[in-house]
């Protein structure tokens, strides 16, 4: 790497707030698949939200992939002495590069011998392995559902069984939500609306890939969030963390 590149990288790294050095969090990034999916600025924002969120709600995660953010939030909950439960959903579906243009093959990009179904089973097993290894006594409550399907069940306020065969009461108020599922605008908007119905006053919502330079619908949706008078922007690091006003 040239000196100029190093200086530029250093300059940008200075602008992201981080939690104090935590050896486990550093290790975690290489223990679980999907390192590139978690912006290090999100770690600071999650920690902030999990520390300051209102009590007695639940933490919701939309989009878990291999479990990096799930394991991280479970750890930060424990580190901050919080007892709120983490509920997450992910269909573990393969998202192809051309899906959004209506071009969808049965296999993963660039390979004709690896089916999307096998990919799905592989990603789910990565998730199961990582949480069972790192949080066996503190499992999340995980549902193999899209966020739309998940909130349909959540709205019924029933007791439901998750992929670990644990039963949990759904429909509780939400203290903090991390939105990191389908990043297309209409999905982000709907995910937010579903979360908003249950989010407590002073509760938090963090949007992954919402930074101003992002090409995702999450960034587009931030224009609406900034106009939403029920919410206060807490921090851009560089993704957006909002708190619901009282
Ligand atoms: C960027 S990854 C999540 C990364 C994860 N939060 C982490 O930091 O390790 C996005 C995930 O969203 C899931 N996903 C896609 N569409 C979804 C939907 N409609 N509802 C919920 N999850 C969805 C995908 O299966 C994928 O695992």
Residue 41 lies in a domain: yes
Torsional sign, CA 149, 155, 158, 163: positive
Q: Count the alpha carbons within 13 Å of 177 in the hemisphere toward its beta carbon.
A: 30
Distance 64 CA to ligand 1 centre (A): 5
H helix or E strand, kind and range, residue 87? strand 86-89
Atom of ligand 1 nearest to the CA of 92: 25
Which residue puts its alpha carbon closest to atom 23 of ligand 1?
181
Look at the chain and report how many structural domains it folds into. Answer: 1
| pLDDT tens, position by position, 162-198 | 999 999 999 999 999 999 999 999 999 999 999 999 9
Predicted TM-score (pTM) of this structure:
0.94
Q: Is the pLDDT of residue 129 over 70?
A: yes
Calpha distance 123→216 (Å, rounded): 22
Torsional sign, CA 76, 140, 180, 229: negative
Residue 78 lies in a domain: yes
| pLDDT tens, position by position, 72-107 | 999 999 999 999 999 999 999 998 999 888 888 999
Which of 34, 46, 65, 163 has most ligand 1 atoms within 8 Å of CB, for mutation?
65
Residue 108 lies in a domain: no
Residue 116 lies in a domain: no
Query: Which residues surround ligand 1 with Cβ inside 6 Å?
Result: 34, 37-38, 62-66, 68-69, 89-93, 95, 146-147, 180-182, 187
Q: Is the pLDDT of residue 50 over 80?
A: yes
Residue 174 lies in a domain: yes
Distance 63 CA to ligand 1 centre (A): 3
| CATH classification at residue 196 | 3.40.50.150
Calpha distance 99→76 (Å, rounded): 35
Which of 33, 90, 119, 239 has most ligand 1 atoms within 8 Å of CB, for mutation?
90
Residue 98 lies in a domain: no
Residue 173 lies in a domain: yes
Residue 113 lies in a domain: no
Query: Which residue range(s) make up the domain with 194?
Result: 14-87+121-244
């Amino acid at each position: 790497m040239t000196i100029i590149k190093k200086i530029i990288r250093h300059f940008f790294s200075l602008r992201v707030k981080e939690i104090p050095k935590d050896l486990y969090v550093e290790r975690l990034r290489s223990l679980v698949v999907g390192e590139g999916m978690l912006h290090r600025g999100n770690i600071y924002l999650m920690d902030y939200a999990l520390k300051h969120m209102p009590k007695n709600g639940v933490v919701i995660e939309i989009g878990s992939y291999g479990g990096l953010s799930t394991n991280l939030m479970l750890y930060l909950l424990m580190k901050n002495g919080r007892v709120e439960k983490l509920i997450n959903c992910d269909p573990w579906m393969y998202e192809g590069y051309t899906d959004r243009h209506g071009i969808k093959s049965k296999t993963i990009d660039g390979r004709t011998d690896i089916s999307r179904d096998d990919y799905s089973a592989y990603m789910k097993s990565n998730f199961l392995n990582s949480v069972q290894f790192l949080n066996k006594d503190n499992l999340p409550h995980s549902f193999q559902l899209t966020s739309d399907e998940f909130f349909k069940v959540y709205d019924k306020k029933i007791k439901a069984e998750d992929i670990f065969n644990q039963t949990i009461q759904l429909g509780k108020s939400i203290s903090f939500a991390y939105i990191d599922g389908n990043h297309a605008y209409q999905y982000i908007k709907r995910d937010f609306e579903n979360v908003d119905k249950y989010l407590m006053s002073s509760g938090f919502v963090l949007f992954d890939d919402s930074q101003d330079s992002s090409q995702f619908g999450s960034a587009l949706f931030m224009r609406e969030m900034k106009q939403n008078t029920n919410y206060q922007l807490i921090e851009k690091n560089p993704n957006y963390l909002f708190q619901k006003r009282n």
